[in-house]
Amino acid sequence: MAEKLHVVMLPWIAFGHMIPFFQLSVALAKAGIKVSFVSTPKNIKRLPEVPPGLEDLVEFVQFPLPSLENDVLPEDGEATVDIPAEKMEYLKIAYDLLKHPLKQFIADELPDWIIIDMMPYWMVDIARENKVPLIHFSVFSAVAYVFLGHPECLVGDGQKRLRPSWKSMTSKPVWVDFPSSVAYRNDEAVGVFEGIYGENASGITDGERVFRILNGCQAFAVRSCAEFEGDYLNLFERLIGKPVIPVGLLPREKPERKQLTDGRYVVEKGLGVEIERGEDGSFTRDGVDKALKLAMVSVEGKSLREKASEAGALFGNLKLHQDYYIGKFVDFLKKRNV
C-alpha cells in the first residue's frame, strides 16, 4: 500500500464549487492524504492560501482553459463569475476541452481516487480506462439530489415520464416517502427546468452530465451531515444504489448563494422564514418586514430562533465535521488500498 493516498480533485469552474472542493482538499490533507487540485491558472490564483503545514499535501495543478473560435468568451474569463449568463454554455465547451490534458495527467499519475463535480462527465471514461475509482462530490445538499430523483429521471424516457415539464417540479416528488415541503415555486421551476434539461451549445444537457457521472461513479459524497438531513441522505442512497457519504459541512470562506431547494429545506426544518412572493417571484417591502418580525421578534418566531441557535452549534462543531465525518470518509478511501 502506498505511504499516502493520492486524490485528484476536479471541480466545476465556479467559485461556489471550487471553494467547497478546496475546503474538502484541506480537510483531507489534515488527515494525511495527498491532494492534487486541478483548475485553471487564474482560478487557482484566486483561491485561498493552503493553511501552514499542509503545503506539501495540497498541490495545485494548472491547465490553461482552452480557447474557442471567434472569441465567444471574454479574454481571461475562466470562471462563471467572469462570464455573462448568455455565454455560460460556451464556458462549458471550453471546460470540456480540458479532458485532453487531464487524460494524460491521470494516466501519468494513476491516483488512488478521483473526486469530481457535476460537470466533467468525460472523467468517467478516463477513470475507467485507468482503473481509478471515481467519487462524485456534491457541493449541494442531499435534498437537491433527492429532488432530482433516480438518475434515470434525468434523461430520455425516464425524464419524459417523470419530469415532462417545469410543472413537475412544483410539488413533492413521488419517490419521497416521508413528509416534505421541498419543491419549486412556479416562477423558479421554469428556469431550473430549462437549466437542467434544456439543450445548450456544449451538446449535452446538465441533466445528462449528472446522469453519466452518477452511473459511472463508485460513490457519492456530499457536503452534509446526518444530523441535518439524515432522511434525505438515506433515501438518495436507496435511489442510486451506491454509498452516499456525508463529509460534514466543511468550513466556508464566505457566505455563498444557496440552491432554492436548500433554502426551502431550511424553512421546512424550522430554521428560517420565506418571504411571501407574488406569482412572478416578486416581493414587497411589507413582506420583508413581516418575515423579519416573525423571525427576529415575534412570539411565533421563538421556536425558530431556538432551532436556529441549535443549528448554529451543529454547523460550527468542527470536531464533528473534521474528526467524525472526514474521518469516516478517509476510512472509506483507504479501504480500496487494503
| 177 contact partners, CB below 8 Å, separation of at least 6 | 235
- For residues 95 and 203, give the distance between their C-alpha atoms in angstroms, rounded to a whole number: 13
Annotated active-site residue 82? The verdict is no
Q: Given the residues 117, 150, 206, 321, select the one marked as catalytic.
A: 117
Sheet holding 219-222, edge to edge: 58-62, 34-39, 6-10, 113-116, 134-138, 219-222, 244-246
Are 103 and 110 in contact, with CB atoms under 8 Å apart? no
Take residue 319 and report the three cell numbers written for it: 470536531
- For residues 310 and 284, give the distance between their C-alpha atoms in angstroms, rounded to a whole number: 30
Annotated active-site residue 136? The verdict is no
Are 189 and 169 in contact, with CB atoms under 8 Å apart? yes
- The position carrying cell 474528526 is 323
The total of other beta-carbon atoms located within 10 Å of residue 83's CB is: 20
Rg, the chain, Cα only: 20
Q: Given the residues 17, 136, 150, 321, select the one marked as catalytic.
A: 17
Enumerate the H helices of 73-155 as residue ranges: 88-96, 99-109, 123-129, 142-148
Residues known to be catalytic: 17, 117
